[in-house]
Amino acid sequence: MGKIYEVKRGRKYHYYYRHSQRIKLDGSLGGKARGSGPSRVVTKNIYLGKAEDIVRRVKGEQFSLN
């Protein structure tokens, strides 16, 4: 499950969706048990826009990604 968070730039807030998960470095070793191999965190960030842009999208109005 991801999280929506805000970043303030100047006087406006910009919103991002962030999803993080752990994946095994060696795909043949599965599971979470001790000795199952190292893993790393993979993070995906998606820019959602300013609050005004998000409201327009929810209402179905036109918007630009500029």
For every residue of 18-59, DSSP letters joined together read: EEEEEEESSTTS-SSSTTS--EEEEEEEEEEEEHHHHHHHHH
What are the tens digits of pLDDT across the range 10-59? 998 999 999 999 888 887 777 777 777 888 999 999 999 998 888 888 88
Q: Are strands 12-24 and 39-50 parallel, antiparallel or unpaired?
A: antiparallel
Q: Which residue has the higher pLDDT, 66 or 27?
A: 27
Q: Using CA atoms, how far apart are residues 32 and 13, in angstroms rounded to an integer?
A: 38
Instruction: Sketch the domain layout of the chain as residue ranges.
Output: 3-53
Query: What pLDDT, on a 0 to 100 scale, did the predictor assign at position 65?
Result: 57
Q: Using CA atoms, how far apart are residues 11 and 62, in angstroms rounded to an integer?
A: 23
Query: What pLDDT, on a 0 to 100 scale, did the predictor assign at position 35?
Result: 72
